[in-house]
Amino acid sequence: MKKKSLILLLSLAMIFTFVLSACGGGSEESADTGDDSAVLKVVTEATFAPFESTEDGDDTIVGFDPDMMAAIAEDQGLELEWVNMEFDSLIPALQSDQGDIICAGMNKLAGDRADKVDFGDTYFESDLMLLVTADSDLTGIDAVTSDMKLASQIGTTGGDMVQAMKDEGKIADGVVLNQWTDCYLQLQNGEVQGVIVDKPVGEAYLNNHGDIAKFVGESFGEHEEFAFAVQKGNTELLEKLNTGLANIKANGKYDELVDKWFS
């Protein structure tokens, strides 16, 4: 008799455990497919004012790109969160599903980027310039001599250019750094004789440092077309972003943001 009671008790316990886990699993599943999945992760590198930067001591990312993407998100009913990381981590982040969108003043024409992610329509155009100290005698990129060092940001078109110039023996060293702010510091400390930087970004730096730095010469390198990017094959999201961009251009919001950040 005792044996039968024990078996019955064990059977009831197993059934109870199964029911409990099944109910509990449902709540876990709903948590996995809850609101969290609706938030799209935008990855960027935020030392690139006025496109994206952070205020001293504050992690909030401000700039043209966050404002533009917020307007696109509102137009298309999307919810975004921003993640700041090193520039050369941005494409790998999308490839490893650690991000949904890149918005970082990224040139969609550069190298093999378009083989790895899908770029949207162009939202800004730019060129590279040579930034030097105010007392520099340099007249432009072609005047740089093989004893000089140039800096730019790692993983960027400028960074690739200084590394190529080093490899070709045109400069003594191509210094590639994680943050633009470090590039500017190296220039001001005399560690490098120039910084290769995107023209709108260099202009923003000169707005506040025109007494200690200047552009020299004409723009050089490939004309750049900045675009947001999504994971390869995510055509649905890309179409939403492109449509949102077209809509904010049509309704004047885009021009309002250009005036806000570039006037």
> By C-beta, is 52 or 75 nearer to ligand ARG?
52
Are residues 158 and 106 in contact, defined by beta-carbon separation less than 8 angstroms? no
Segment contacting ligand ARG (CB under 6 A): 16-24, 99-107, 138-146, 227-235?
A: 99-107
The single residue listed with the structure tokens 């005698």 is 137
- Cα angle: 40, vertex 180, 186; to 5 degrees: 160
> In whole angstroms, how close is the CB of 154 to ligand ARG at the nearest point?
10
44 contributes a contact to ligand ARG by CB under 6 A:
yes
Segment contacting ligand ARG (CB under 6 A): 14-22, 42-50, 139-147, 212-220?
A: 42-50
Segment contacting ligand ARG (CB under 6 A): 29-37, 48-56, 202-210, 227-235?
A: 48-56
Sole binder of ligand ARG in the list 40, 48, 120, 231 (CB under 6 A): 48
Are residues 53 and 62 in contact, defined by beta-carbon separation less than 8 angstroms? yes
153 contributes a contact to ligand ARG by CB under 6 A:
yes
Segment contacting ligand ARG (CB under 6 A): 46-54, 129-137, 240-248, 252-260?
A: 46-54
CA distances from 239 to 72, 87, 172, 236 (A): 11, 24, 45, 5
157 contributes a contact to ligand ARG by CB under 6 A:
yes
User: For residues 163 and 174, what is the distance between their CA atoms, to the nearest angstrom?
Assistant: 5
- Listed residue (153, 154, 166) closest to 195, CA to CA: 153
Q: Provide φ and ψ at 102, rounded to 5°.
A: -105, 125
106 contributes a contact to ligand ARG by CB under 6 A:
yes
User: For residues 122 and 242, what is the distance between their CA atoms, to the nearest angstrom?
Assistant: 9
Residues 179-198 that bind ligand ARG (CB under 6 A): 198
> In whole angstroms, how close is the CB of 111 to ligand ARG at the nearest point?
9
> By C-beta, is 172 or 199 nearer to ligand ARG?
199
> By C-beta, is 65 or 75 nearer to ligand ARG?
65
Q: Supply 12's token pair.
A: 């009831």
